[in-house]
Structure 1
């Protein structure tokens, strides 16, 4: 094997030292990371979990789950704002927001996606006729397209993803990738050995919003084949986002598989060390750095709680992804190969990105949009919701995966809590 040039070797050693310092800092209770990014801190909060208390994790799990049940049992209607836009008399003449329904789907999933679309149409889109964008790395079949056109009220766009955007980069070290994927698979990390899953996570993290078709839109509602929707929406959710200055909307928040994101946070800290001004002073730091309910996850993920918004449903402003803070950061992440050497999901990437680079008050919990993606459900005590059990979330043995209580406790202002 040829020797590594001395200059490159010195750079590698320097990078290792910097990474080690950052890892020590993030796991040290006596070192506030706010000191690293002081030049960007214009507010009182620092990039460190600010609510450490000495309680057993089991106790925290029970308290957080009870809090979630109490919140979901509270009767709600719809957001208490004076600017909700109601369904028009003629949806075809309606001045819609610059938005689309979005799904990444394969031809074989036609039955599942039609089932979900029928629910979305009944609950929401038959009243507004928003267009749909269907993405696939393979060409859609005539059968698929005709099946979709039979159930959607808005225009349907069937779009192909360019191989250059979908396939893994040719600079990925395949030997390392195979070794790392085998290791993750031995640790029971789902989809670890499926390259197509890694491609999907990477594409939804840094590529989809720049697809030529999606460039024409600002907002999207992402859904997945086979998900269920339970609640009638009698207002335009896209106009709600637009008129109330919201960037990101979610329904369910969970902990991730910690082995899948071991270096996501350290790589993020490397980026922030070089770009401290990117950090938003009112970011959702506690949500990202909480270490009480599942401290083993925070430790394994090197300081990241693994809390994330479950991205199989999300309503968001794609201009945020196109902004310099997010796009530069996610490009740096991509350059490290973590989407393939680990199994970084688009959900933690979106969540860390919006949690660090956006004002947390612009993140909205849609408590009136009930949905299920096995094994998790969100069903509020709302009169427009049906066919789900109020306050249902998941099986007893998965109670510790609830991150919604953390969002409620640490990141929501009183006005946000009382918006319903």
Structure 2
């Protein structure tokens, strides 16, 4: 057999070296990986706080702060923009809702007096109305979710739904057997923004019962979003149970085949698809990393959910039935849509807003915060630190 020329042998050797180097990079452990501008990542089980929180949590200037009565509750010419705080809540959650209201009013809204807008699938009781009105100086309104937005859609096969519930119950998918939870996720995913009560608003801040806010925030968060052209603000970014969203990504890929033009050129698709840093024994959901913004805290522009891209996407998912046959939550649905259809630079981490929704926290290094430990991420269960997906977001998008 004729020997290869010396030049070809050298080229083959160089190619082999490059191949071996690439394999070594692929099989490096998460603890060995480095982000471009951050400290080395620890293994998830070793995380006790996010090193990014060691820096100040101060937001960038310019800010809109209270001067005189420019945010007074009765000022018809106030500096408030078209924005509201929203909550989907049940009558029996009144005590937990008051805890959340009192915290947000104390740390922020007593200065700005943005209205509260409450939704329920049944009429609110007089007790609920009386107590919530007493918790704020701002306007408060109460609204029913339309039956056609809450009822299980006619195209859902109920036999298949019940079979799916039984199957995913075996995998211990949380809330799978609660029909109202599926209805809530569907409504929060794509129908809340269509409610007539929000017709005149441009921005919203979602607040749920039994959450906590720890930091004094002295600027108009909504105006900051508007001034900086931000579409969405998140606080906590975690992984989801892959069993609950097993077909979400395959259905998304089907949608993208029909609507490729909806994908934004500066998207965050890598964040959605990179499963390399998932904790040990975790799986991706058919190509989806399951990273998502925890939507119990979200500050957003309603225009995104009303856009043609999102309406087309939600309608596709709704017809696919995964809100009932699986347990597609509004958090992964919102996150996938934002990651694909929005400019990732328009998504902001509100690192300066201290927040807790059991069992996760966001506690900044900020002297305006009290009641939590700087960098705290969980309720003390260290194994939960592996759920933190912010490192991937910082890697592909950055910290803004």
**TM-score normalised per structure 1:** 0.83
> Is contact 1:247-1:316 (8 Å) kept?
yes
Moved more, 325-334 or 62-71: 62-71
Corresponding position: 1:54 with 2:27 = yes
- SS at the partner of 1:62? coil
Alignment match, 1:193: 177
Q: Could you tell me how far 1:69 is from its partner in structure 2?
A: 2.2
Q: Could you tell me how far 1:75 is from its partner in structure 2?
A: 2.7
Alignment match, 1:337: 321
Corresponding position: 1:79 with 2:56 = no
- SS at the partner of 2:135? coil
Q: Could you tell me how far 1:53 is from its partner in structure 2?
A: 3.1
> Is contact 1:88-1:127 (8 Å) kept?
no
Residue of structure 2 aligned with 1:210, choices 173, 188, 194: 194
Moved more, 397-406 or 250-259: 397-406
1:10-65, CA deviations, whole angstroms, 9 ceiling, x for partnerless residues? xxxxxxxxxxxxxxxxxxxxxxxxxxxxxxxxxxxxxxxxxx83234676773467
Alignment match, 1:240: 224
> Is contact 1:289-1:298 (8 Å) kept?
no
Counterparts of 1:56 and 1:178, CA distance in 2? 41
- SS at the partner of 1:213? helix
Distance of aligned partners of 1:295 and 1:109 in 2 relative to their CA distance in 1, 3 Å threshold? closer
Q: Could you tell me how far 1:68 is from its partner in structure 2?
A: 5.6
Corresponding position: 1:410 with 2:396 = yes
Counterparts of 2:116 and 2:281, CA distance in 1? 37
1:348-388, CA deviations, whole angstroms, 9 ceiling, x for partnerless residues? 00100111000000000000001001110010101111110
Counterparts of 2:184 and 2:391, CA distance in 1? 29
> Is contact 2:279-2:387 (8 Å) kept?
no
- SS at the partner of 2:395? helix
Q: Could you tell me how far 1:409 is from its partner in structure 2?
A: 1.6
Counterparts of 1:66 and 1:85, CA distance in 2? 36
Distance of aligned partners of 1:205 and 1:260 in 2 relative to their CA distance in 1, 3 Å threshold? same
Alignment match, 2:209: 225
Q: Could you tell me how far 1:277 is from its partner in structure 2?
A: 0.5
Residue of structure 2 aligned with 1:89, choices 68, 80, 92: 68
Distance of aligned partners of 1:275 and 1:296 in 2 relative to their CA distance in 1, 3 Å threshold? farther
Alignment match, 1:177: 161
Moved more, 115-124 or 52-61: 52-61
Q: Could you tell me how far 1:397 is from its partner in structure 2?
A: 1.0
Q: Could you tell me how far 1:318 is from its partner in structure 2?
A: 0.7
Correspondence 1:302-313 to 2 at 5 A: 302-313=286-297
Counterparts of 2:321 and 2:32, CA distance in 1? 38
- SS at the partner of 2:28? coil
Correspondence 1:324-403 to 2 at 5 A: 324-394=308-378, 395-403=381-389
Moved more, 391-400 or 290-299: 290-299
Distance of aligned partners of 1:297 and 1:160 in 2 relative to their CA distance in 1, 3 Å threshold? farther
> Is contact 2:244-2:326 (8 Å) kept?
yes
CA RMSD of aligned residues (A): 1.8
Q: Could you tell me how far 1:97 is from its partner in structure 2?
A: 1.1
Structure 1: gaps spanning 5 or more residues = 1-51
> Is contact 2:48-2:376 (8 Å) kept?
no
Counterparts of 1:99 and 1:405, CA distance in 2? 31
> Is contact 1:293-1:400 (8 Å) kept?
no
Counterparts of 2:365 and 2:382, CA distance in 1? 20
> Is contact 1:67-1:405 (8 Å) kept?
no
Counterparts of 1:96 and 1:55, CA distance in 2? 50
> Is contact 1:68-1:405 (8 Å) kept?
no
Distance of aligned partners of 1:326 and 1:67 in 2 relative to their CA distance in 1, 3 Å threshold? farther
> Is contact 2:50-2:375 (8 Å) kept?
yes
Correspondence 1:247-262 to 2 at 5 A: 247-262=231-246
1:73-114, CA deviations, whole angstroms, 9 ceiling, x for partnerless residues? 2233x21222x1001321232221110000000000000100
Structure 2: gaps spanning 5 or more residues = 1-24, 34-40
Which is higher, the Rg of structure 1 or of structure 2?
2
Alignment match, 2:134: 150
Q: Could you tell me how far 1:287 is from its partner in structure 2?
A: 1.4
Counterparts of 1:147 and 1:295, CA distance in 2? 43
Counterparts of 2:233 and 2:49, CA distance in 1? 18
